[in-house]
Each structure stands twice: as structure tokens, then as C-alpha cells.
Amino acid sequence: MNLGADQKAEPGWLLPLICRRGGVTRNEVGAIRVGGSASEFQIAGEAAEDFALAAARPDPRAPHVVIERAHGSE
């Protein structure tokens, strides 16, 4: 995700964004790690494919947010 500490991102406000954008519940989101200019988070295996499809669509409420699968993740 292209939001990090530089944008004042915190796990507490990233979680609802992740859930809304990917159509998942908070129980399907694992660790959220906030970096400088980007953040990484885990999605439960059974929800990952549907999450990736949903998160790839533009979000009119947050068009600047880009969510991509991390390199090396499967």
C-alpha cells in the first residue's frame, strides 16, 4: 500500500481502509507494518485471491491509494 509513516499512516486507520477496499473483515487481516512511504499487511490465505481482485479496483473514496501484492508473495 502506498501509504506509510510519511503520510501519518497508523494501523488503526489503515485497517478500515483495507477491509473496505478488499471486501474483507478485520479477522481476515493479519499484521499491518507501517513503513516510511508504504505499508504492508497480511490477508488470510482463503481471502487473498478475492481481496486482490477487489483491491485492484479504483476506490472513489480514496483514489490516491494503491494496493498491490508484495513481490514474492503468493
pLDDT in tens, 6-41: 999 999 999 999 999 999 999 999 999 999 999 999
- What pLDDT, on a 0 to 100 scale, did the predictor assign at position 58? 86
The mean of the pLDDT values for the chain is 93
Question: How many other CB atoms are found less than 10 A from the CB of residue 54?
Answer: 16
Residue 18 to residues 31, 37, 45, Cα–Cα distance (Å)? 12, 17, 15
Neighbour-count burial of 42, counting CB atoms closer than 10 A to its CB (0-12 exposed, 13-18 middle, 19+ buried): middle
Q: Using only the alpha carbons of the chain, give its radius of gyration.
A: 11
Residue 73 has pLDDT above 70, yes or no: no
C-alpha 49/C-alpha 8 separation (Å) is 28
Residue 61 has pLDDT above 80, yes or no: yes
